[in-house]
Amino acid sequence: MLSKTKIKFINSLYRKKNREQTNLFIAEGEKTIQQLIEAKYDFQTIISTEDEIDQFSNLTCERIKASKDEIKKISSFKTPQPVIAVCKQQIHLQPQPHSLKNELTLALDDIQDPGNLGTIIRLASWFGIKNIICSLKTADCYNPKTIQATMGAIAHVNVYYTNLEEYLLLAEQQTNLPVYGTFLNGKNIYASELSPNGIIIMGNEGNGISSGIERKVNHKLYIPSFNEMKVESLNVSVATSIICSEFRRRTIQV
Amino acid sequence: MLSKTKIKFINSLYRKKNREQTNLFIAEGEKTIQQLIEAKYDFQTIISTEDEIDQFSNLTCERIKASKDEIKKISSFKTPQPVIAVCKQQIHLQPQPHSLKNELTLALDDIQDPGNLGTIIRLASWFGIKNIICSLKTADCYNPKTIQATMGAIAHVNVYYTNLEEYLLLAEQQTNLPVYGTFLNGKNIYASELSPNGIIIMGNEGNGISSGIERKVNHKLYIPSFNEMKVESLNVSVATSIICSEFRRRTIQV
């Protein structure tokens, strides 16, 4: 049974402040939780219905059987999944820019929507991108909506928060990594030379890449539209996927 | 002022059944509404705060000034935008398959999530795809969450609902359009020949392309992962964007 105190505690983790104070986060659903287990995340509590509790029997953490109605009280879903976990955040030491010189890395400049961030983490995992460097105002990767959108990929991608401008300055000083970003006056990405390694910056949903960060970009790109009419723009996670696909495509022999 | 009856009526449009009966839908926010105006959608009612009402003065429809609190009662946003419209659905005659033979067309096989559908409509518009043919179980393109995710692109893309299997049978009989779909046993998309015209099928979020539809696919593709570990999958709107980008890239001279 879920006590009132426990319900209150778990619900407190929907707020970033409380996640930061406790270094905990909420993961919902068997698939996501299984991937976190494989990636050796530590768990504080597993809450599940009677039917599901046995499959987590070798986890050394608090295990609570709960009814569907009880799980509803702590879930962010209208139709909750039968398992919810309170999980410990993994703290990774932020990689120095020079250690990224043989990799493709994403940098996010104030991505606000937790769902977009989660989708970006999921596709980064698909494209074998190990690290995402986020500006301090980027959404929290432990937001339950983000975790949900990653579909477990949060277990395979390291996400860091830092002063992005300073980080890129350091990258400039330590390495000669190309820094890419998309701009209206950029070069057609399909016709541009793309390095297998580098940093790709994705900007805020409404405002794009901020001017301080823009100064660190040494390769401006553009995804051309194939619509003759003036069309708004691409969703940032969609744009990220197109860019990552194009970078990775170039690395394979066809 | 918004009457109680009006509030009740507008909120009824959050249900598909009521949208179908009235052929109306809800559009929120100035950008989306402006694009619908440009695309010659008809409006039944515009509700906005005092500050915003004048910019819609040349629309021949009911116009209601409302307070922010009143708008909150009919909005799907926590922080509502100052304009909401009740808009008439545009009815387009479903294109016969042979009329699509010089185009790239998307077909959706039971895409369930309204947000995914909206994102797909938005990116289809970007890539100059004029028509999307949906199975009958695909989410409703007039769902407020879909409209919101299209960011106005619903005004530029025609979305049809039909028995997709029968439609593809007709396409087979009328045309020799290639039909593409992604499958685990498909060919690497980056290394496959892609026609500038054809039908690209995207499958359901959980189950992929159904077996009846699979039989109509004559070119099986696959987006390769660049992650050595086993990773889940790509979000369907992300996969759609990668595929559309790759098809369109081939059509330009670089």
Query: Which of A122, A156, A238 lies at the smallest CB-CB distance from B241?
Result: A238
Is A28 within 8 Å of A81 (Cβ atoms)? Answer: yes
Backbone φ and ψ of A3, nearest 5°:
-75, 160
Q: pTM of the prediction?
A: 0.93
**Cβ–Cβ gap A156/B242 under 8 Å:** no
Residue of B40, B233, B242 best to disrupt the A interface, most CBs of A under 10 A:
B242
**Cβ–Cβ gap B226/A248 under 8 Å:** yes
For B187, nearest residue in chain A (alpha carbons): A254
Residue recorded with tokens 């010189």: A101
Residues of chain A with CATH 3.30.1330.30: 4-88
**Cβ–Cβ gap B226/A235 under 8 Å:** no
**Cβ–Cβ gap A227/B115 under 8 Å:** no
Is the torsion defined by CA of B129, B135, B141, B146 positive or negative? negative
Core vs surface per residue B131-162: b (16+ CB within 10 A) or e: bbbbbeebbbbbbbbbbbbbbbbbbbbbbbbe
User: Does the pLDDT at position A231 exceed 80?
Assistant: no
User: Does the pLDDT at position A198 exceed 80?
Assistant: yes
**Cβ–Cβ gap A234/B122 under 8 Å:** yes
Spatial distance between the Cα atoms of B76 and B81, rounded to a whole number of angstroms: 10
Query: Which of B115, B190, B234 lies at the smallest CB-CB distance from A254?
Result: B190
B88-129 pLDDT, tens digit per residue, is 999 888 999 999 999 999 999 999 999 999 999 999 999 999
Spatial distance between the Cα atoms of A135 and A153, rounded to a whole number of angstroms: 20
Spatial distance between the Cα atoms of B213 and B204, rounded to a whole number of angstroms: 11
**Cβ–Cβ gap A231/B125 under 8 Å:** yes
3-state percent helix, strand, coil for chain B, nearest multiple of 5: 35, 20, 40
Residue recorded with tokens 């702590």: A74
Backbone φ and ψ of A109, nearest 5°:
-100, 85
User: Does the pLDDT at position A53 exceed 80?
Assistant: no
**Residue B254 pLDDT grade (very low, low, confident, very high; cuts 50, 70, 90):** low
Check CB contact of B77 with chain A, cutoff 8 Å.
Answer: no
**Residue A251 pLDDT grade (very low, low, confident, very high; cuts 50, 70, 90):** very high
Check CB contact of B249 with chain A, cutoff 8 Å.
Answer: yes
Question: Which residue from B77, B79, B76, B94 is spatially nearest to B15, judged by alpha carbons?
Answer: B76
Q: Which of A88-102, A117-131, B190-204 has the lowest mean pLDDT?
A: A88-102
Question: Which residue from B42, B2, B1, B20 is spatially nearest to B143, judged by alpha carbons?
Answer: B20
pLDDT at res. B253: 67
**Residue B157 pLDDT grade (very low, low, confident, very high; cuts 50, 70, 90):** very high
Percent of chain B with pLDDT over 90: 82
Check CB contact of B119 with chain A, cutoff 8 Å.
Answer: yes
pLDDT at res. B132: 98
- Options 3.40.190.10, 3.40.1280.10, 3.40.50.450, 3.90.1170.50; CATH of A97-249: 3.40.1280.10
Check CB contact of B31 with chain A, cutoff 8 Å.
Answer: yes
Residues of chain B with CATH 3.40.1280.10: 97-249
pLDDT at res. A218: 94
Q: Tally Cβ neighbours within 10 Å of residue B28.
A: 22
User: Does the pLDDT at position A6 exceed 90?
Assistant: yes
Question: Which residue from B128, B123, B133, B155 is spatially nearest to B142, judged by alpha carbons?
Answer: B155
End-to-end CA distance of chain A: 57
Percent of chain A with pLDDT over 90: 82
End-to-end CA distance of chain B: 57
B225-248 pLDDT, tens digit per residue, is 998 876 678 999 999 999 999 999
Name the pairing type of β-strands B43-48 and B83-88: antiparallel
B225 contacts in chain A (CB < 8 Å): 126-128
In DSSP notation, B192-239 reads S---SSEEEEEEBTTTBS-HHHHTT-SEEEE-----SS------HHHH
In DSSP notation, B148-170 reads HHHTTGGGTSEEEE--HHHHHHH
Spatial distance between the Cα atoms of B149 and B147, rounded to a whole number of angstroms: 6
Query: Which of B228, B229, B249 lies at the smallest CB-CB distance from A190?
Result: B249
B151 contacts in chain A (CB < 8 Å): 232-233, 235
**Cβ–Cβ gap A238/B123 under 8 Å:** yes
For A188, nearest residue in chain B (alpha carbons): B254
The alpha-carbon gap from B174 to the nearest alpha carbon of chain A, in Å, equals 27
The alpha-carbon gap from B36 to the nearest alpha carbon of chain A, in Å, equals 12
Q: What is the mean pLDDT of residues B166-176?
A: 94
Residue contacts between A and B (CB atoms, under 8 Å): 116
Is A81 within 8 Å of A47 (Cβ atoms)? Answer: no
Query: Which of B156, B228, B238 lies at the smallest CB-CB distance from A123?
Result: B238
Longest dimension (CA), chain B: 60
- The CA-atom distances, in angstroms, between B228 and each of A128, A164, B4, B222, B232 are 7, 28, 58, 16, 12
pLDDT at res. B230: 67
The alpha-carbon gap from A1 to the nearest alpha carbon of chain B, in Å, equals 31
- Options 1.10.10.10, 3.30.1330.30, 3.40.50.2000, 3.30.930.10; CATH of A4-88: 3.30.1330.30
Spatial distance between the Cα atoms of B201 and B9, rounded to a whole number of angstroms: 36
**Residue A175 pLDDT grade (very low, low, confident, very high; cuts 50, 70, 90):** very high
Question: Which residue from A172, A176, A122 is spatially nearest to A146, judged by alpha carbons?
Answer: A122
Q: To the nearest whole number, what is the mean pLDDT of chain A?
A: 93
For B119, nearest residue in chain A (alpha carbons): A235
**Cβ–Cβ gap B252/A127 under 8 Å:** no
Task: Note which residues in 168-227 of chain B have CB less than 8 A from chain A.
Answer: 188, 190-191, 223-227
B39-95 pLDDT, tens digit per residue, is 899 999 999 987 777 788 888 899 999 999 999 999 988 788 899 999 999 988 899
pLDDT at res. B211: 96
User: Does the pLDDT at position B38 exceed 90?
Assistant: no
For A150, nearest residue in chain B (alpha carbons): B235
